[in-house]
Amino acid sequence: MAALLATILLSSLLVVYSAYLEQDRVELWSEREQFAVALSNHRDRTNIHVSTMVPNNDIIRIASSQAAAEQWVQSNVLDFYPGTMIRFVLVGNKVLSHDPRIWPSLVPAMRRIKNSLNAHDIKNVKVSTSLAMDILQSTFPPSSAWSANSRNISLDFALFRGRANQIDHNTSLVYTNLLDQMLDSVIFAMRKLGYPDIGLAIGETGWPNAGDMDQVGANINNAATYNRKLVQKMATKPPIGTPARPGAVISTFISPYMTKIKSQRPLSSYEPLPAARTNMPYRGKLWCEVAPGADAANLSSALSYACSQGNQTCAALNPGKQCYEPVSVFWHARYAFSSYWSKFRKQGATCYFNGLARQTRRNPSRGQCNFPSVTI
C-alpha cells in the first residue's frame, strides 16, 4: 500500500526553483504542438506560466552537441518566448528511474540547454529535471530516509485528513500528511549532499478516480478530497510550506492523467460525490479477463506474448486440452491473461496488456476448464 500511495501522490518531483501560485496564473506541462491550443482559450494568455520538456530520447544527442541543444531551444522555446511565459525547461522525465545509459548524459544536456538560453539572454527560465520518489530508499522519517513502518500509512493521512500526526524523532518535526513527509525527505536528502537551499516544485500529483480491485482508495470521492485539499494547502497565503521549510512556496502541477477537467461549472451544480467504496482492501480471488471492446488483432498479439513466456502458461489451450474449445481468440486470450497473471504476478506482471485486460471477481471457468486465479 505504501508503494501505491507514493505512486499516487508524487510520481514525479522536480528539483527546481518555484514561483507563486496565484489564481490568475496556471502552470502547464505541454509539448510544442500543444502550446497554441492550451493557451488560446485563456482570457489572459500573458499570465500563463509554461513548463516544457526535453524528451528522454533526445538527451544523449543534446548532451553531445551544442548545436543540437541550440536547435531544440529554437524550436521549443524561442518560437514562443516571450509571448508565452515559459518558466521551466525540464530535461527528461524521471531519467534516474529508467534507462541507465542516459544517466551520464543528463547533466551535460542540462548545461547545454542552459548555455543556449544564456546565449539568447534568457535569464528567467530555469533548467532542471524531474525525479521520481524511487530515488529514495523511503520517506519516513524524512531526516534519515529509513522506515520500519512504511506499510502502515493510512488513507486519511494521505488525504490530508489524518487524525494522528507522525513525528520525526530525529528532528522533532510533526507531520500531518504524507505529502509533506515526502517533500521533506527530498529536502533532507539534498541537505545531506550539500545542497540545502534548492527549491522544490511538485511535477505531478493527484489521485486516481478509479483503479484495479487491488488498488486501495482509488475512487472519485478520494480523488476530489485529495485535489481540493491539495489546492487549499498550496494556494494558502502566506504560503504554508512544509515542516522542514515553513513558508516555502512550492509550485504544484496536478496530473492530467489522473484529473480530467471537462468544464467550469459551479460546484453547486454537481451531484453529491459518490461514497468511497474501495477504501478497504479486497480480500479474495481475482481473475484477469479480456476488457470490453478489445480489438481482435491486438488480442492476437497479446495472446502470443502471454503464451510465449513459458512456465506452461497456455498448456491448457493446446488442441485436445481442457480449455482448447471454443476455438476463439477472445476465449483463448481470456484464459491466457488469467494464467499469465497468476504465474508471473510475483515477478511484477499486471492484468493490463495495454488496456486489453481488466480484473474481475467473477470466475470465468467453464466446465472442465479451470482458470488460474490470483489471491490477494
SS3 at position 241: strand
Domain assignment present for 197? yes
As averages over each run of 10 residues, the pLDDT of the chain (376 residues) reads 34 34 40 48 58 91 96 90 82 87 94 96 89 71 51 80 84 91 89 87 81 78 88 89 92 62 55 75 87 89 90 90 91 94 89 90 91 88
Contacts of 371 (CB under 8 A, 6+ apart): 287, 334, 335, 338, 339, 363, 364, 365
Q: Can you give the pLDDT at residue 339?
A: 93
Are 162 and 181 in contact by the 8 Å Cβ rule? The answer is: no
Give the whole-angstrom CA distance, residue 145 versus residue 60. Answer: 31
Instruction: Tell whether 236 and 368 lie within a shared domain.
Output: no
Q: Can you give the pLDDT at residue 119?
A: 96
Domain boundary among 239, 269, 299: 269
**What strand order describes the sheet that includes 374-375?**
357-360, 285-290, 374-375
Q: Can you give the pLDDT at residue 168?
A: 86
Instruction: Tell whether 318 and 354 lie within a shared domain.
Output: yes
Q: How far is CA 200 from CA 126, 225, 259, 295, 362, in A?
A: 12, 23, 22, 43, 45
Instruction: Tell whether 207 and 77 lie within a shared domain.
Output: yes
Q: Catalytic residue at 204?
A: yes
Residue ranges making up the domain that contains 292: 285-375
CATH number of the domain within which 206 lies: 3.20.20.80
Strands 251-254 and 201-205: parallel
Q: What are phi and psi of 337, to 5 degrees?
A: -60, -45
Domain boundary among 243, 269, 295: 269
In the set 27, 70, 204, 289, the catalytic residue is 204
Instruction: Tell whether 8 and 153 lie within a shared domain.
Output: yes
Strands 12-14 and 126-131: antiparallel
Q: Can you give the pLDDT at residue 273?
A: 77
Considering its fold, how many domains does the chain have in total?
2
Domain assignment present for 274? no
Instruction: Tell whether 123 and 243 lie within a shared domain.
Output: yes
Instruction: Tell whether 46 and 146 lie within a shared domain.
Output: yes
Domain assignment present for 277? no
Give the global pTM.
Answer: 0.68
Instruction: Tell whether 63 and 119 lie within a shared domain.
Output: yes
Strands 173-175 and 12-14: unpaired
CATH number of the domain within which 346 lies: 1.20.58.1040
